[in-house]
Amino acid sequence: MTRSLKSLLDRFLFLDRGFLPTTKLCLSFCIFSIGLAIFMSAGISWVVVILANIGFLTITLIDFLFLPRKNQLSLKRVIPDEMERGIQYQVKLEITNKSKYPITYRLIDGIPQSFLRPFPLKGMIGKESKAILLYETTAPIRGEYQVKKVYVRYQSIFGLWEKQATEQLENKIKVIPNLSETKRYLENAQRFLMYEGVKIRKFQQGTGEFSKIRNYVVGDDPRKINWRQTAKLHEVMTNEFEPEHGKYITILIDCGRMMGAELSAGNRLEKALEAAITVTAAALQKGDYVAVLAFSKNVKIYVPPAKGMAHLQRILYAIYNLEVDAAESNYGEVLQYLQTVQKKRSLILLFSDVRTFLHEESALLYLKRLRQRHLFLMIGVEDEALVRRIQEEPASIHSAMIKSMAQKQMIYKKREKRKWEQQGLQMVEAEEENLAVTAVSSYIQIMNRGIL
């Protein structure tokens, strides 16, 4: 395709500057041509037909006098610099018409193709006035994006010709992981997790320090009831104790091939990132040190341990654009690297695929060494397809064979998990929607038991 043809195609695809005939002009010209054809059958000459066509087109060019010039039309965009994946955001476009003529317009914003694009936007703006357009968009894929242009077509009140213009408006957008679970935890940890009962808060005798007085909930130790406050407030109140703060938490995020498996909402890596950020927020809020390491066949990102909620922003900006690699994860290399960078005893939380990890015999040697100094916990997404196959009733020989193979896979997984857990390496699997809750619950349980 030659450059001129490509430019012409871009013009019709809303991608270039120029003028285009409207539907109204085309219909008018068709009616005019039919009339000329009738007169031609009556015997008028070709000279008259040609002159009539030239005259018709010349009259339509008067429409250009009622169109704003380039410097009389301006646009402004207001879009968030930071967007969470899968969350709907509002974008504002402001159009200013400085000319003395009203116009009708159609507009397309140059946001990435992966975003939700409710275009074209249509409307009318009066003379020497402004119009504000609002539309909502959603970013389904994390990463950094450049939004550079706004494409607009507008016509006068006669609507014969349509002028097309491109406005350069540059914005940079960071699409970060969905932080809904993290916000829910930070807003109200008790409602998010309900971890203040006996199921998780099992302190070892003599451990923990006084934190606050709160309402008694089912499962609390009756020996911790604060009778003075209970009598004063006429409500059952209990003393809350927290474990010692300042512990080290190291979060490992697997970016290997198996983490690209699609789930009902995103893939395994997306869920792992959301859960990892929630655990990070919980640990930093408790006053612990948090380090994050992302890997696949080699180490991709390492954020050294630090404390304070400001560290959450540094971790988020370091991992927000992680992608799944088309390679198998090298657990041996990352665990060896971890031994060199993490000298202090810490809780190691590995977000990965449990079934893939169970086949890595070489990683067991490194984990045995790490176990001497660190506490290890692996968290993965439960294979819903495998569970569904096991639970379904076989209706044929084929379905019975599938169910038996699924049961065999589950038995193998449980046997291998038991072997690793005998070495002190705990593994947990959770449903995708409960991964963040399970991760935070496991962290709090370990901290409250004082085993770190």
Output the domain CATH number for residue 291. Answer: 3.40.50.410
Q: Identify whether residues 140 and 247 lie together within a single domain.
A: no
pLDDT above 90 (res 42): no
Q: Read off the pLDDT of residues 382-391 as tens digits, 9 standing for 90 and up.
A: 888 788 888 8
Burial class from Cβ neighbours inside 10 Å (0-12, 13-18, 19+) for residue 25 reads buried
CATH number at residue 57: 2.60.40.10
Which residue type, as a one-letter code, is found at position 360? Answer: E
Are the C-beta atoms of residues 243 and 298 closer than 8 Å to each other? no
The verdict on residue 390 lying in a domain is yes
CA distance linking residue 122 with residue 135, whole number of Å: 11
Answer with the one of 132, 151, 176 that is the final residue of a domain. Answer: 176
User: What contacts 195, CB < 8 A, 6 or more positions away?
Assistant: 189, 201, 440, 441, 444, 445
Lowest mean pLDDT among 123-137, 248-262, 332-346: 332-346
Q: Identify whether residues 168 and 252 lie together within a single domain.
A: no
Q: Identify whether residues 116 and 248 lie together within a single domain.
A: no
The verdict on residue 199 lying in a domain is no
Average pLDDT value over all residues in the chain? 84
Q: Identify whether residues 116 and 259 lie together within a single domain.
A: no
Q: Read off the pLDDT of residues 391-442 as tens digits, 9 standing for 90 and up.
A: 888 888 888 888 888 888 888 888 888 877 777 778 888 888 889 988 998 8
Q: Identify whether residues 41 and 148 lie together within a single domain.
A: yes
Determine the angle formed by the axes of helices 310-319 and 268-285, rounding to 10 degrees. Answer: 160
User: What contacts 431, CB < 8 A, 6 or more positions away?
Assistant: 381, 382, 384
Are the C-beta atoms of residues 97 and 129 closer than 8 Å to each other? yes
The verdict on residue 2 lying in a domain is yes
Residues 265-283: b if buried by 16+ CB within 10 A, e if exposed: ebbbbbbbbbbbbbbbbbb
Q: Identify whether residues 19 and 165 lie together within a single domain.
A: yes
The verdict on residue 155 lying in a domain is yes
Q: Identify whether residues 403 and 270 lie together within a single domain.
A: yes
Could you please report the per-residue DSSP string of 208-277?
Answer: -EEEEEEE--TT--GGGB-HHHHHHHTS-EEEEEE--S--EEEEEEE-SGGGG-B-SSSBHHHHHHHHHH
Tally of domains within the chain: 2
pLDDT above 50 (res 201): no
* Percent share of the chain, pLDDT over 90: 28
The verdict on residue 15 lying in a domain is yes
Answer with the one of 158, 176, 194 that is the final residue of a domain. Answer: 176
Are the C-beta atoms of residues 411 and 217 closer than 8 Å to each other? no
CA distance linking residue 368 with residue 347, whole number of Å: 14
Q: Identify whether residues 172 and 250 lie together within a single domain.
A: no
Q: Read off the pLDDT of residues 52-101 as tens digits, 9 standing for 90 and up.
A: 888 888 888 888 888 888 788 889 999 999 999 999 999 999 999 998 98
Q: Identify whether residues 12 and 133 lie together within a single domain.
A: yes
Are the C-beta atoms of residues 279 and 443 closer than 8 Å to each other? yes
CA distance linking residue 245 with residue 319, whole number of Å: 25
Select from 382, 387, 370 the least CA-distant residue to 423.
370
Residues 371-380: b if buried by 16+ CB within 10 A, e if exposed: eeebbbbbbb
Q: Identify whether residues 146 and 250 lie together within a single domain.
A: no
Q: Identify whether residues 168 and 258 lie together within a single domain.
A: no
Q: Identify whether residues 165 and 270 lie together within a single domain.
A: no
- Copy the structure tokens of residue 395: 């209706």
CA distance linking residue 432 with residue 267, whole number of Å: 9
The verdict on residue 200 lying in a domain is no
The domain of 421 spans 243-449
Are the C-beta atoms of residues 173 and 80 closer than 8 Å to each other? yes
Give 302's pLDDT tier (boundaries 50, 70, 90). Answer: very high
**Residue showing tokens 């690209």:** 260
**Residue showing tokens 């213009």:** 165
Answer with the one of 148, 176, 204 that is the final residue of a domain. Answer: 176
Looking at per-residue pLDDT, the higher value among 205 and 122 belongs to 122
pLDDT given for residue 55 in this prediction: 84
The verdict on residue 214 lying in a domain is no
